[in-house]
């Protein structure tokens, strides 16, 4: 369990690093747009990400 969690975390870091490495200007613009969003919109995006992640875990495990 611990090793799987560490591997999942490592994979997340690799995937999170791809976009800023490949397109730093677009990454910066994305964050500039995020700053302009309301708190409710950011929470909705976070909730959607969590639900999608949980669904993928259920389907593929």
What are the pLDDT digits (tens) for 8-56?
Answer: 999 999 999 999 999 999 999 998 999 999 999 999 999 999 999 999 9
In this predicted structure, the answer to whether residue 61 has a pLDDT above a threshold of 90 is no
Cβ atoms < 10 Å from Cβ of 59: 7
**Report field, pTM of the whole predicted structure over 0.85:** no
Give me the residue spans of the domains in the chain. Answer: 24-61
For the chain, the residue count is: 61
Residue 1 confidence (pLDDT) above 80 = no
């Amino acid at each position: 369990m611990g090793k799987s969690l560490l591997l999942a975390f490592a994979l997340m870091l690799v995937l999170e690093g791809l976009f800023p490495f490949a397109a730093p200007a677009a990454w910066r613009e994305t964050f500039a747009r995020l700053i302009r969003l309301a708190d409710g919109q950011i929470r909705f995006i976070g909730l959607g990400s969590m639900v999608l992640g949980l669904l993928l875990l259920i389907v593929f495990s």
